Chain A
């Protein structure tokens, strides 16, 4: 087959050992690639961020999981086909995979287009795909649409900022003291599973139907996501590193700056990324249920007004917004963590 290509200069005696060395080396790398980061839970976590663009959401660490959740390392606790080996295969199959993925999307749209035509679903309630997509494109030229998007994203951004700042500050304070960690643990574990939507009536009662109501829900839900990650991150600080810092006479603030913060940052970023998705869900939910201004409210309006094509266009818009938020948060995370050793390792390999 291709074996002739594989041994250039086979007959040129002088060069042979060199080629062989290189080949042995390559084979070595090839064979060990599967095992390179067998225990690299840390590496894998960030590998996923950078390489598995498509299925990142499910692989994200579950905020509620134990310190090293499976999402962060393989099922058996040993990463398996990740790392350089997987990255290489991914590249090689990249084109075919993309084509298949596109085919999948087209197939889905075709199904949607044909369903109302066959009469299986009432065309009034499920207009064909081209109508909804056409309406979505029209929307892109309308001020009202962008105002709704702006309202939603404003609630999203404000809620995120408040929740992240609160949770990070509190997380570092609680996390750096064993006493505070134990003291607050039960309360945190009790309040965390409380569904944020339970607060909807309270929000309406206290804050009405303005953006503040949405903010209350967003902040409540995101706060726990980030707080838990910060607590994990602070707890992950290497005792040896901390003792080294102490022995060189670094004060408490210097220790936070040079030891705790760098260790916790990847965790904080994971928390922020998770919170971004949750915040978007709640920003839109608040519009749907409470009627705070934004895309959610527009969807309800379109539905109750019988303007179903518009409703589907807006639902598509929320999906696109969700994809966009995930994408942007992933890029930000990678940018911020680019100095981090685990990310560097991946780039070097």
Chain B
């Protein structure tokens, strides 16, 4: 097993993987030198207590998200991605470990964080119009009316929706609804933007547009983005870094640097040699994860 998977690894720069941890510890993501960690996840663990016994969704996760980075979390379905995101966003308390933002422990949803959910239809207020949806968090913050109007118009402009401020969200297509949710997050001016499989429910063409939109917004605003997805291509195309999760109970399978050029293009980038190498590698890792391979097992084997 180990030899199988180590081959493609040679071709890619991995921040950390099984091979890098000779001490036999669970692999740990590191912050790239010279960058200040913004969001930090330390030894995060989450166990659900249910009738059918406890379910260990996340076993041990540690990684840092530096300021301004766009990182993708990718993992097989059922790998506790949503759980992880809920813990990071402060919606759910971890069983063990902690999440810190600017060195401060996250105990509830932090002010400088915005979340875009997969279920766009359920995360927009159906009784508010598009502009009102974007405006509501600002109103809640006590921003005055003229400033609000300006920010909302800007945000809608940024996502290409300035023509429908008076529509209700449910009158729009799925892709447009997700744009509204993104506009709302953008208007909120967060430092960290969490996105939970935001494009899982939109069609392929809309998806490509939205991916470019996210990259555009990320560059323009300089926010840190943590983008959860189960789509391998999407994770490589979007991210500067891909964190591959194991199957549940989740640990980090591999933390991978994406050395693709900064300017990405749906046609050019996706057909480049490097893209397909990276994609190939991530795909293999996910397949391994699905089969139940875990770095800790490999380590245990090596030690035995």
Contact = CB atoms under 8 A, between A and B. Distances in A.
B83 interface: yes
B50 A23 contact: no
Interface in A1-51: 1-3, 5-7, 13, 16-17, 20-21, 23-28, 30-31, 35, 38
B126 A76 contact: yes
A25 B78 contact: yes
Contacts of A98: none
Interface string B70-103: 0000000111101100000000000110000000
Contacts of A13: 297
Contacts of A17: 291-292
Given A7-B249, A20-B248, A78-B122, A92 B51 contact: yes
B297 A23 contact: no
29 contacts: A2-B54, A3-B45, A3-B56, A3-B95, A3-B96, A5-B53, A6-B47, A6-B54, A7-B249, A13-B297, A16-B292, A16-B297, A17-B292, A23-B55, A23-B56, A23-B248, A25-B78, A27-B48, A27-B55, A27-B57, A27-B78, A27-B80, A28-B77, A28-B78, A30-B55, A31-B82, A31-B83, A77-B126, A78-B122
Interface string B229-270: 000000000000000000111000000000000000000000
A7 B55 CA distance: 8
A77 B168 CA distance: 15
A2 B47 contact: yes
A76 B119 CA distance: 13
B275 to A, nearest CB: 29
Contacts of A21: 292
Contacts of A35: 119
Nearest to B79: A24
A26 B52 contact: yes
A16 B54 CA distance: 16
**Chain B contact residues, majority secondary structure:** mixed
Given A31-B82, A31-B83, A76-B126, A26 B55 contact: yes
Q: Interface SS of chain A: helix, strand, loop or mixed?
A: helix
Interface residues of A, number: 27
B137 interface: no
Contacts of A27: 48, 55, 57, 78, 80, 248
B163 interface: no
Contacts of A1: 47, 95-96
Contacts of B83: 31
Interface string B130-159: 000000000000000000000000000000
A1 B53 CA distance: 13
A35 B197 CA distance: 15
B222 interface: no
A31 B196 CA distance: 13
Contacts of A335: none
Contacts of B52: 26
B96 to A, nearest CB: 8
B50 A24 contact: no
Closest 3 CB pairs of A and B: A17-B292, A6-B54, A28-B78
B121 interface: yes
Given A3-B47, A3-B54, 20 more contacts: A1-B47, A1-B96, A2-B49, A5-B54, A6-B54, A6-B56, A7-B56, A7-B249, A17-B292, A20-B247, A23-B248, A23-B249, A24-B247, A24-B248, A27-B48, A27-B248, A38-B122, A78-B122, A88-B51, A91-B51
